[in-house]
Structure 1
């Protein structure tokens, strides 16, 4: 068996660095790919499967997503992540429609595609506070609590008139006083770009990572009080790993807090059940679910096919789909490889 892997090195993390040596322990040959080259499709010839862990960067979303789709759907090769698992990654609007179609328990969510509709809702129907979200973003970087109609209308105006770049909200917003030479250089570039735009209609330089503004929609979600933590359940095949993330100090957001409780006794098994059922119904091979409580019952707020691997490995064990507990730590990359190789072998047996 030959598995092609496009190495991933994103912000100091890499799944491929664990995939490659683990595949070799299974006597599976590995071919290192560079699917961003012109001969991308020629490179995968002879491979029995292709793996590429891509992140929520704009560049990855516009390259990896389409290249893997062609390999999977037109070259008929198994890929990870496959389309069912990944097409909605880092797109909360898409997740809203997908999970709603599967009757997954959700908080109330509102997606608006026009300024008039969003404004009318904010003025006449919204019950504050609510939560505003960009469709993209991780670590609660694009989430804000909205306490009034005026705040909601401000977000609506920006989303339909100017747009909002990811990583420019909350603690990620730009400071007026640069904190480093690098940040000062960015400020200077923006200042000089202003004159270039006025004088020669040159579009300002954009951030190398977050160059795509979000606009043309507005996404709001009901605010769920009295949730001191959220619960993340990650399902990989027949394994569910769970931990709780406590909110940041004086904040309603848990994602990105780093305050994690790995004790399985604190996990609501109803959440594990819902996660397994959703993965089965949607055909996900790997999915992390973020749960909160609404009126005492679990609801899914967001999903993501990729995540910080160390958090999964820190779990002392996992549940299977019968909700039986299995002791022992496991790297998520190992679970992904085991399932991917087995699915290819099954396919060869049945073909």
Structure 2
């Protein structure tokens, strides 16, 4: 399959722009019209005002050389904010953030603010957006270097020393962004390799573990230590689901659809827990599901709720494939979505910015969730009565 330059541009931007105004262009029918994005966009603006203000960050002792604040692709999130608002301010901020990251993509493709070669800092999608906005050829070259660096990651898991969904996601995103840019057959082969390895972990888990809808790996492989219990991380799985979702949009891949459906099953059956005390009535995503050894799970509702938006987006992407959505599935989706939507209640506070703790949260909360308002309407329309 080959995509022209303009078709790639449209496919990149449909989820965050045209899907809001013309969802029938890429979804099944005209199920969603007049989508309210304000609950999503207006809080995002407040957070963006903070992460793009060097003086505010400096006051909080967050300097430009603190690498972790750039995780989860801040340039991408800012570009999506521009597409959602049309405000040229965010276009300029996205370009500035992209140029900052671009200048620190080393010759070997890795992020130079990190001493070691760390795959999770490979963030090409924001640079792909930047290239589409500016035609800066240095971005093309950087995406190529990032892709070559990502080949260091072995996507296959069979009881090896280290494996996480986050690194798998970074490798897949690197191959996918490079493929969209170049139509390189080797990149497509790499995408298929990663999808196949992931699917194998889901349907044929190591160690005789039963199927649970996610790519199971050991606690030791994920967190270190000695515990060999099977684990999956709901929020890291949300990171992995996003490029799979994007690949589905480009190709209608049956394999991508199957993986997303399975991931949704995992979230519904294993990935959440009911809150207590101050969190009574809420359904919260687990940071890490430790199968058969629940005492190893670090249940902390204050921290876990920080991933409600991204895990809600994962579940919404899975439910997209259901012509009719069960009441239980819809209730879980809306419960995960609630903390994200409730941010809008703070808008009566006229303060122009809201602090983000930690700053990298801006990336994980908004990079993979731009179509949440649209997915919300899909679930509303299709839920069983």
TM range (shorter): under 0.3
TM-score by length of 1: 0.28
Higher relative CO (Cα under 8 Å, sequence separation at least 6) belongs to 2
More helix by share: 2
TM-score with structure 2 setting the length: 0.26
Mark the structure with the bigger radius of gyration: 1
